[in-house]
Structure 1
Amino acid sequence: MDIRKIYTDCGALLEGHFLLSSGNHSNFYLQSAKVLEEPKIAEKLAQALAQEIQKAKLGAETICSPALGGILAGYELARALGVRFIFTERVQGAMVLRRGFSVKEGEKILICEDIITTGGSAMEAKACVESLGAKVVGFASLANRGICERGLKPTHKGACKLPNLPFFALADFNFEMYPPETCPLCQHSKPIKPGSRGN
Structure 2
Amino acid sequence: MTTEDVLDIFRKAGAYLEGHFILTSGRRSKVFLQKARVFMHADATETLCRALAERIRQEVDGPVDYVVGPAVGGLIPAYETSRHLKVPAIWVERENGTFRLRRFEIEPGARVVIVEDIVTTGLSIRETITCMEALGARVLAAACIVDRSAGKVDVGVPLIALAQYEVASYDPADLPPELAAIPPVKPGSRSL
Same fold (TM over 0.5): yes
1:20-70 CA-to-partner distances (Å, cap 9, x unmatched) read 112210000011111111111111111111111111243221100100011
Quick one: higher RCO (CA 8 Å, sep 6+), 1 or 2? 2
Number of equivalences: 187
Residue 145 (structure 1) aligns with: 148
For residue 189 of structure 1, report the CA deviation from its aligned partner.
2.7
Residue 123 (structure 1) aligns with: 126
> 8 Å contact 1:103–1:129 — kept in the other structure?
no
> 8 Å contact 2:60–2:141 — kept in the other structure?
no
> 8 Å contact 1:66–1:89 — kept in the other structure?
yes
Name the SS of the counterpart of 2:173 in structure 1.
helix
Distance 1:104 1:189, change over 3 A: same
Q: Structure 1: 5+ residue runs without aligned partners?
A: 150-155
Q: Does 1:178 align with 2:181?
A: no
Aligned mates of 2:60, 2:179 — CA distance in 1: 46
Residue 73 (structure 2) aligns with: 69
For residue 197 of structure 1, report the CA deviation from its aligned partner.
3.0
Q: Does 1:33 align with 2:39?
A: no
For residue 132 of structure 1, report the CA deviation from its aligned partner.
0.8
> 8 Å contact 2:93–2:99 — kept in the other structure?
yes
Q: Give the AA of the match of 2:134.
A: S
Q: Does 1:108 align with 2:111?
A: yes
Aligned mates of 2:112, 2:44 — CA distance in 1: 25
Q: Does 1:13 align with 2:16?
A: yes
> 8 Å contact 2:30–2:179 — kept in the other structure?
no
Aligned mates of 1:188, 1:62 — CA distance in 2: 45
For residue 138 of structure 1, report the CA deviation from its aligned partner.
0.2
> 8 Å contact 1:18–1:26 — kept in the other structure?
yes
Q: Structure 2: 5+ residue runs without aligned partners?
A: none
Residue 153 (structure 1) aligns with: none
For residue 15 of structure 1, report the CA deviation from its aligned partner.
0.5
Q: Give the AA of the match of 1:179.
A: D
Name the SS of the counterpart of 1:189 in structure 2.
coil
For residue 12 of structure 1, report the CA deviation from its aligned partner.
0.7
Residue 180 (structure 2) aligns with: 187
1:108-134 CA-to-partner distances (Å, cap 9, x unmatched) read 110110111111011111111110111
Aligned mates of 2:38, 2:133 — CA distance in 1: 30
Query: RMSD across aligned C-alpha pairs, in angstroms?
Result: 1.6
Q: Give the AA of the match of 1:6.
A: I
Distance 1:186 1:97, change over 3 A: same
Aligned mates of 1:45, 1:9 — CA distance in 2: 13
Q: Give the AA of the match of 2:184.
A: P
Task: Pick one of 84, 87, 91 that aligns with 1:80.
Answer: 84
For residue 198 of structure 1, report the CA deviation from its aligned partner.
5.8
Q: Percent identity?
A: 39
Name the SS of the counterpart of 1:182 in structure 2.
coil
Task: Give runs of aligned pairs for residues 89-108 of structure 1, distance below 5 A.
Answer: 89-99=93-103, 101-108=104-111
